[in-house]
Amino acid sequence: MSERIVVIGAVAAGPKAACRVKRLLPDAEVTLLDQDDLISYGGCGIPYYVSGDVSDEKELRATSFHMLRDERFFKEAKGLNVMTLTRAVSIDRKEKVVNVENVKSGEKSQVPYDKLVIATGSQPNVIPVPGHDLNGVFTISNLHKAIAIKELLAQGKVEKAVVIGGGAIGIEMAEALADLWGIETKIVEFMPQVLPRIVDVTIARMVEQHLRENNVEVFTNEGAQKFEGTDDGWVKKVITNKRELECDLVIMAAGVRPRGELAKEAGLEVSPYGAIVVNQRMQTSDPSIYAAGDCVETYNLVTGKKAYAPLGSVANRQGRVVGDNLAGIPSRFDGVVGSFIMKVFDICVGATGVSTDVAKSEGFEAVSAMAVQSDRAHFFPTQALMFNNIVVNKTDRRVLGLQGFAKMGDGLLARLNAAAGMIARRAVIDDFSNLELAYAPPFSTAVDVLNAAANIADNLVSGRLKIVSPEEFVDWMDGKSDHPDWMALDLRHPKEAEPWVKAFPEKWYAMVYDQVRSHYQELPKDKTFIIICNAGTRSYEIQVFLRSVGIDNTLVLAGGLNVIRRLGVSWWQQ
């Protein structure tokens, strides 16, 4: 009898595992079951469906050659048995059967297996505050919810929306609502920044400012405490610890958690937060049962600790590894570095590896270095600034992470992708300084922004470069904190520096970059100079020079005014 392989869950990891093993073992009897009738959809495309960029939900379920990935497709094209609208109720590991139930008829039956794959995915967190179950409060748990939201929008029933959660999905949904539909949209984030634990605060602030520039208000450090409804039960207000926000739509995007209940009840090992524990072959604690996708725990290749990485790309790659192992090919999934990228209106932001905060909390002596540079040759007409923030461990110079902010396009992807494999392989600063990125003027610079970030990190870790962070500098300028006797030393062209000298005559001193070597003796004495230019490069050169002539009390404004300019500070507009 041919081997019976049963796969529970038919969105990403499940179909990938099922199709791969069917190709490797054409004689196997592979059954794919799912409680839904909409299967194998691109869940990451939901915000683009809601926005209207993708006009029909069927596009999220179509192959690149325009066949709908429905039950019929997996049967006829892929040769699988498919059972949709079929919920796996329990797993009888002794008898090797899955007890299932038809979600419409309630009819119960049993599906026997020789090998089982659990790909039950994740479910969105619901914030347990009063009113979370009002009409108009949505999570993005599946395609049905997306369709319902889009219908509401199309009917013109939404004027004001609140998104709870400033992570990737929250921001993507906010853009979808605000950009095409013109809905007054606000984001409420419990943590002190958007994209918490993903990017450092400087990058987060730049994203927040870009959201504001696109009419999406962002409230950080605020938690939703209550949702108020109309008499007929429709949400009308979100109440946070600081304010009340009127709305007629709430999107709860407060993260997801693994659907590990089925596995747990079957006695398989699960993590404290409910993710299924698997080995590098994606095998659970029962060797006949594999698991993959949003329902499993994985391993962080930077921290060396267990991690949870609910991402469509990870699910697909894990699914293939499951397929291989079911067929006796010993493929492995070793873990993740957490590569991430997203579009936010006209910019993109992304990261790979860990942020400085996460690195510190994991015990690394982490520092970050920001390179701000043209994404391509500065003489090439389409050039734009790119920001690369590299996170390194001071003690062993290991690169722990990279984050970036750039004009919308694929340029940031090119730097993140270059870094991902290197970080996974424990590369150090010098490996990044010398990383051989493809170069031609229409694409990059001879010393790429990523090489440059590593070079800055080298100077920082070696103690040659001493910096003040943009956040600290902004606090001084805002008067929130102060540093005794600091003074800006502005190296830019006199026309650029002049308005600043006028606005802050006590604090701002201008001396053009190429005049410092001959005129440094005119500098005021006994000041801590905050050396300022647009990107930080000229400032570093001058810091080194001033040190050589005995002026040691200097700090370079990291990333220069190109960063400050993107933070939306009140004193910039002069």
- Phi/psi of residue 282, each to 5°? 70, 30
- Which alpha helices (H) appear in 267-311, and where do they start and end? none
Nearer to its own copies by Cβ, of 268 and 337: the residue is: 337
Counted residue by residue, the chain has a size of: 574
> Comparing C-alpha atoms, which of 551, 192, 124, 536 is closest to residue 368?
536
Residues 251-310 that bind its own copies (CB under 8 A): none
The active-site residue, picked from 19, 44, 247, 348, is 44
Please give the single-letter amino acid code of residue 296. Answer: V
Contacts of 86 (CB under 8 A, 6+ apart): 33, 34, 35, 100, 101, 102, 103
Please state, as a whole number, how many other Cβ atoms lie within 10 Å of the Cβ of residue 26.
Answer: 10
Contacts of 231 (CB under 8 A, 6+ apart): none
Q: Number of residues in contact with its own copies, rule: CB under 8 A?
A: 112
Tokens at 536, concatenated: 């930080």
On whether the CB atoms of residues 202 and 403 are closer than 8 A, the answer is no
Residues 443-462 that bind its own copies (CB under 8 A): 443-444, 446-448, 451, 455
Mark the segment that binds its own copies (CB under 8 A) among 138-146, 153-161, 230-238, 417-425.
Answer: 417-425
Nearer to its own copies by Cβ, of 8 and 46: the residue is: 46
First-residue to last-residue Cα distance in the chain = 80
CA 507 – CA 516 distance, rounded (Å): 18
Regarding 69 and contact with its own copies (CB under 8 A), the answer is no
Query: Mask: binding to its own copies, 299-318, rule CB under 8 A, as x and -?
Result: ------------xxxxxxx-
Residues 35-64 that bind its own copies (CB under 8 A): 42, 44-45, 48, 53-54, 59-60, 62-64
Q: State the nearest-atom distance from the C-beta of 71 to its own copies, in Å.
A: 12
Tokens at 323, concatenated: 């397929």
Nearer to its own copies by Cβ, of 443 and 504: the residue is: 443
Q: State the nearest-atom distance from the C-beta of 386 to its own copies, in Å.
A: 10
With CB under 8 A as the contact rule, the residue among 84, 352, 356, 393 that binds its own copies is 352
Nearer to its own copies by Cβ, of 424 and 501: the residue is: 424
Regarding 26 and contact with its own copies (CB under 8 A), the answer is yes
Residues 502-561 that bind its own copies (CB under 8 A): 513-515, 517-518, 533-535, 538, 540-541, 544-545, 547-548
Residues 362-381 that bind its own copies (CB under 8 A): 373-375, 377-381
Q: State the nearest-atom distance from the C-beta of 294 to its own copies, in Å.
A: 13
Provide the CA 491 distance to its chain's centre, in angstroms.
35
Nearer to its own copies by Cβ, of 76 and 133: the residue is: 76
Give the bridge partners for 357, in sequence order. none
> Comparing C-alpha atoms, which of 426, 464, 460, 418 is closest to residue 443?
418
Regarding 482 and contact with its own copies (CB under 8 A), the answer is no
Nearer to its own copies by Cβ, of 246 and 431: the residue is: 431
Please indicate whether residue 295 is annotated as part of the active site. no
- Phi/psi of residue 99, each to 5°? -85, 125
Regarding 492 and contact with its own copies (CB under 8 A), the answer is yes
CA 512 – CA 526 distance, rounded (Å): 20
Q: State the nearest-atom distance from the C-beta of 485 to its own copies, in Å.
A: 25
Residues taking part in catalysis: 44
